[in-house]
Amino acid sequence: QVGESVADPLKYYRNNVAGAVSLVSAMREAGVDRFLFSSTAAVYGEPEETPITEESPLHPVNAYGNTKLAIETMLDDCRRAWGLRSLSLRYFNAAGATAAHGEDHRPETHLIPLVLDAAAGRRGELVVYGDDYPTPDGTCVRDYIHVRDLASAHVLALEKLAGGLSGAVNLGNGRGFSVLDVIRAAERVTGLAVPHRIGDRREGDPAVLVASSARAEKLLGWRRRLPAIEEIIGDAYAWRRRYPDGYPD
């Protein structure tokens, strides 16, 4: 959680950076020389241009992004020092669900499960943080990628990593959806109204965050199979109906 990382940075440095140092040290001792890393679009911070490519400047604006970038840097240093091969997969907004697995964060901070919970009456009205951004409908635009497409990218990345590929690739939808786009799509998918109101902007929210995944497509041979926001929301909704209370404690 980005906000938590700002409030408690040492927790994130201890878990992410110190944990990665321990893991890579154990890998070296065991003779393991390949590392597939779950990184994040947060390494880019507030982008200077859209879509975001892997050549875009890396300027994280919070401790979460800083720790992920620190690990990417460490992995590259280890490559030069002793030949560690690594691929850093920079996720954009992972969303959707499989039949067995869905989103159940506590507290929940991701837009799609919040929208679905609001539609189902499991929480109060959704707050849309600002409607005066320079976007088509005034609300922030984000890049949502189905978790099943993320999973397929991991399989391909493991194969390419074994073949010697290293570096970093973006994994995103390649197109953006505004907050209101998500709300309207959820209403179409569920047949339910999503109660919401417009609130003030949140500090640090960029207007648009959309990935270019051209490098992943070229280097990994990856193709998105489920890019439509209705498919992403539909799978998330099906999981939520199957597990209305989320995972058991």
- Which residues are marked as active site? 64
Q: Which two tokens stand for residue 210?
A: 């959309």
Residue matched to tokens 């890019």: 227
Angle at 34 between CA 166 and CA 165, to 5 degrees: 20
Q: Which long-range contacts (CB under 8 A, 24 or more apart) does 110-115 make?
A: 111/142, 111/179, 111/182, 112/144, 112/182, 112/186, 112/232, 112/233, 112/236, 113/236, 113/240, 115/182, 115/183, 115/186, 115/194, 115/233
H or E stretch covering 131: none
Angle at 106 between CA 194 and CA 69, to 5 degrees: 105
Q: Which amino acid is at 196?
A: H
Question: Nearest to residue 178, comparing CAs of 141, 143, 210?
Answer: 141
